[in-house]
Amino acid sequence: MLTLYRAVAAIGGPAIAAYLALRRARGKEDRVRFGERLGVAGRRRPDGSLVWAHAASVGESLSLLPLIERLVMAWPSLNVLVTTGTVTSAQMIAGRLPKNGFHQFIPVDRVPYVRRFLDHWHPDLALWAESEFWPNLITETQAREIPMVLVNGRVSPRSYGGWRRFPGLIRQLLGGFKLCLAQTEADAGRLRVLGAADVKCVGNLKFSTPPLPAAESQLHRLRDVLKERPRWLAASTHAGEEAMAARVHKKLKSRHAGLLTLIVPRHPDRGPEIAAALRADGLNVARRSPGEAIAASTDIYVADTMGELGLFYRLAGVAFMGKSLVPLGGQNPIEPARLGCAIVHGPHMINFEDVVERLRTANAARRVADENELADAVAALLADHDERDRMAAAAEAFAAAEAGAVDAVVAELTPFIRALREGDRSRARA
């Protein structure tokens, strides 16, 4: 299967190039740094030991930040290369990495690109976040005897079923990891069945991620604008969910005078499209990116900007998790839990099934089946401030109690890092 994968990647070179050109034209690739996607480094390799940490996108890269900070704090001369595959993730972590940390885009998974990447960077240790298993990257790294550790490992039931159809391939890929650190016992069990050898459950690094930031000046300004207006947030929404949020708004508007619905789309570039559709539906809409003001008559505020979700969690009080009323797996509920929100989510939270189950057990989150139940849940929380505050406090307490995962991960990585610092790479591979 690996041979077939490599053959397809090689033969499909022209098709891959065309696909990347289309992505670049649509703004999905960084035009200035596009060479990095082909394995061409954007900077020189720093001297000394280099840890390479790879994360797929925004959520995974943010979850690595506290780990990277702890590693550099403990070993100040350590260099950390962080790779991701999306423009959004690169923008989100820009300026948030410690002194010895820097970002590059991950090369597309074709052997020539991967080898060019590894030839330049020569990483001494590779950390892979969650479930980003690129066959050529993993096998080429393994062939160079670079030790690999899976951190915050996650295998959803859907991914598990998919990989079970290719048992030989996933066993070979997981066999390249010296250690797999899983988020939950369920993830650990799936990793073992799929072929991982040394697996431990140490908790979810997302609990250790600092709260999403917010500019204090903007927070104060918007609080002054909104004052006591009832409001709720539809966070990180995907196509279809904005229309649902709008219909919820219409149902609740007569019961809650001055109601404002805040929508933060997962992809900010959809802002004009979302606003146009909602206006066509008769709603008064303001968009954040062009600086449109929130007026007393504004029904919906579309916050189509990058990096401001933390601002709107702080403003909202009630947060619906996007990607969960459409069958896409849900968004991270830990973020609103840390910022004083009562959490509501749909039935499709497979990406965070363990977290939301525990949040519900702690009476810190409500599950709704559809937009009618969403309207009922939001209405209840807008009407009952005591219940909203109780849920928010329970969510915050739950998140705080789980924040020690980074300590466990650092402890597991310490022998690998010490081996590098002592100049004995053979121990890191033992």
So which residues are the catalytic ones?
Answer: 60
Q: Give, in order, the Cα–Cα distances in Å from 357 to each of 126, 188, 337, 349.
A: 32, 18, 14, 10
d(Cα 411, Cα 219) in Å, to the nearest integer?
37
Question: Can you tell me which residue has the tokens 């720093």?
Answer: 46
Angle at 142 between CA 137 and CA 148, to 5 degrees: 85
Residue 148 near residue 176 (C-beta atoms within 8 A): yes
Q: How many helices (H) and strands (E) does the chain have?
A: 19, 14
Question: Can you tell me which residue has the tokens 């820009």?
Answer: 94
As beta bridge partners, residue 81 has 52, 102
User: Exposure pattern of 338-369 as b/e (b: 16+ CB <10 Å)?
Assistant: bbbbbbbbbeebbbbeebbebbeebebbbbbe
106: DSSP letter: P
Question: Can you tell me which residue has the tokens 């959809």?
Answer: 270
| 321 three-class SS | strand
Residue 281 near residue 299 (C-beta atoms within 8 A): no
Angle at 71 between CA 65 and CA 75, to 5 degrees: 145
Of 43, 155, 175, 21, the residue nearest 103 (C-alpha): 43
φ/ψ of residue 160, rounded to 5:
-60, -45
Instruction: Quote the crossing angle between the two packed helices 2-11 and 111-121, to the nearest 10°.
Output: 100
Residue 117 near residue 90 (C-beta atoms within 8 A): no
Q: Which two tokens stand for residue 132?
A: 């980003």
142: DSSP letter: H
Using CB atoms within 10 Å of the CB of residue 376, give its burial: 0 to 12 exposed, 13 to 18 middle, 19+ buried. middle
Q: How far is CA 115 from the centre of its chain?
A: 27
